[in-house]
């Protein structure tokens, strides 16, 4: 139950941030928070991470729905056996996938706004952050499990 609540909270935070940007910015608007380093920039992303597959909404949507269903099923089936880091990792990935899927269904594109200039050339959103946190947690779980096996 706690993981369902966490997914809900993460999706809600993602959607609130996108709503605020959508209501207060025009596409392409940018506000410097830390000059030449961190900005909020409104980008309509019609692809996936790093701007790949632009305009392929149907393929992206089908793949995302399959991923959401597969992750939810995997979490459900492994809920009593899965290590904490792995559960948290897949929970974050699921929340990120759902957050971006909501945008694709509701808007026809994903709103991106987090813009670190100078160190990263892509604009992204909280759902993308959740997915990346999830992947890191899953990898950490894997490496810790491998380390235990060697002992």
Query: Which residues does the annotation mark as catalytic?
Result: 112, 128
Name the DSSP letter for residue 121. -
The C-alpha atoms of residue 113 and residue 56 are separated, in whole angstroms, by 21
- Helical H segments across the chain, by residue range: 2-24, 57-78, 84-106, 126-150
Q: Is 49 exposed, middle or buried (0-12, 13-18, 19+ CB in 10 A)?
A: middle
- CA atoms within 13 A of residue 142's CA, in its CB half-sphere: 8
* Burial (Cβ within 10 Å: 0-12, 13-18, ≥19) of residue 11: buried
Tokens for 102, please give them.
């909501």
């Amino acid at each position: 139950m706690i993981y369902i609540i966490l997914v809900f909270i993460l999706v809600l935070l993602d959607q609130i941030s996108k709503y605020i940007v959508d209501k207060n910015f025009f596409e392409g608007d940018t506000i410097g928070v830390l000059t030449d380093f961190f900005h909020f920039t409104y980008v309509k992303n019609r692809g996936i991470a790093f701007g790949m597959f632009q305009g392929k909404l149907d393929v992206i949507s089908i793949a995302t729905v399959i991923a959401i269903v597969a992750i939810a099923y995997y979490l459900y089936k492994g809920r009593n056996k899965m290590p904490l880091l792995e559960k948290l990792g897949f929970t974050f990935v699921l929340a990120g996938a759902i957050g971006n899927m909501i945008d694709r269904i509701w808007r026809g594109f994903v709103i991106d706004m987090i813009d670190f200039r100078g160190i990263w050339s892509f604009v992204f959103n909280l759902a993308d952050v959740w997915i990346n946190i999830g992947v890191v947690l899953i990898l950490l779980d894997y490496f810790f499990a491998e380390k235990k096996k060697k002992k």
